[in-house]
Amino acid sequence: MDRFLVTGAAGFIGSHLCERLLGDGARVVGVDRFSTFYEREDKEANLQALRDTDGFDFIEMDLSKDSLEEIVSKVDGVFHLAAQAGVRDSWGKAFSVYLDDNSLATQRLLEACRDRKHKAFVYASSSSIYGDALEGPTKEEAVPRPVSPYGVSKLAGEHLCYLYYRNFGVRTVSLRYFTVYGPRQRPDMAFRRFLTAGIEGKPISVYGDGEQSRDFTFVGDAAEGNYQAMMKGKAGSVYNIGGGHRATLNEVISLMGEIQGAPLEEIREDVQKGDVRHTWADTSLARAEIGFQPKTKLSEGLKAEHEWLLGRIKR
């Protein structure tokens, strides 16, 4: 029976991945430091079902400070999802947090894995590393040009992974997520903010003209991509993880109105620094090498997130 470490286990994608692994019969050690980026209450809610599941152990710890050797010595593979998120919050003095939680934590975890024979070290990166990609759909070999400090920190993590693969044989696999959404989405993310505002009858803030587009990925598909990367990913590789559902923000807002039965009231605001205009994933490499095949349509995923939010708001 495999035993895996999942960092960021109390987070949005991490909690779904833990459930996916437990459902396959694996044992999971989940860690999280409960950063103050958003309320601990949200993360505790993500863990609620996991804490009652056989085979799941949870440890509250800080990857940038605490000893890691013992915990990695007891697992067969590592999923490193823990990170300080947020493009717009990564500027100025706040960047020191990104250095600790994204760069230093990743280096320390890789260092602890140097002499271990793990199946893989799966690292959660981001499409933010591409910046404003010149072509689409974007392939993994595109030159990375991040336009936010957050994107820089995630790209640094990828480089660290390759360094430890190249020099010490750590079987790293990096996954570049494209705009993941769904139940348990962080409160700062657009889909959750928009759907919550619609439920509560409040206006939403839309930055720019709304014609910016994203390749949206349902969280269940992202979790499955992690599992496939652990089992089939080539050491030292990087894969795009995208949902194949590219849409403009205006199209998404219209779809949300249909789901909720009334159009959302919009307030237009200036474009935010660090926001890219378009993202579009070429997932052919992930399809060919790890069997990645996203299954959830955008309309289905939005309905699932809407239903989850209704349950939270009415409690």
Q: What is the pLDDT along the chain (315 residues), one digit of tens a residue?
A: 899 999 999 999 999 999 999 999 999 999 999 998 889 999 999 999 999 999 999 999 999 999 999 999 999 999 999 999 888 788 888 899 999 999 999 999 999 999 999 999 999 999 999 998 766 799 999 999 999 999 999 999 999 999 999 999 999 999 999 999 999 999 999 999 999 999 999 999 998 899 999 999 999 999 999 999 999 999 999 999 999 889 999 999 999 999 999 999 999 998 877 678 888 999 999 999 999 999 999 999 999 999 999 988 765
CA 100 to CA 224: how far, in whole Å?
28
> Where are the domains positioned within the chain?
3-182+217-243+280-294
Q: List residues with catalytic annotation.
A: 150
CA 302 to chain centre: 17
CA 223 to CA 184: how far, in whole Å?
13
User: In the prediction, which pLDDT does 314 show?
Assistant: 66
User: In the prediction, which pLDDT does 1 show?
Assistant: 82
Sign of CA dihedral 91, 95, 98, 103: positive
- Region for residue 67 given its phi and psi (left: phi exceeds 0; alpha: psi -120 to 50; beta: otherwise): beta
Residues 226/228/232/237 CA torsion (nearest 10 deg): -40
Q: What is the pTM of this model?
A: 0.96
* Cβ–Cβ under 8 Å, residues 35 and 84: yes
Class of 3-182+217-243+280-294 per CATH? alpha beta
Sign of CA dihedral 157, 159, 165, 167: negative
DSSP state of 127: G
Sign of CA dihedral 190, 20, 162, 116: positive
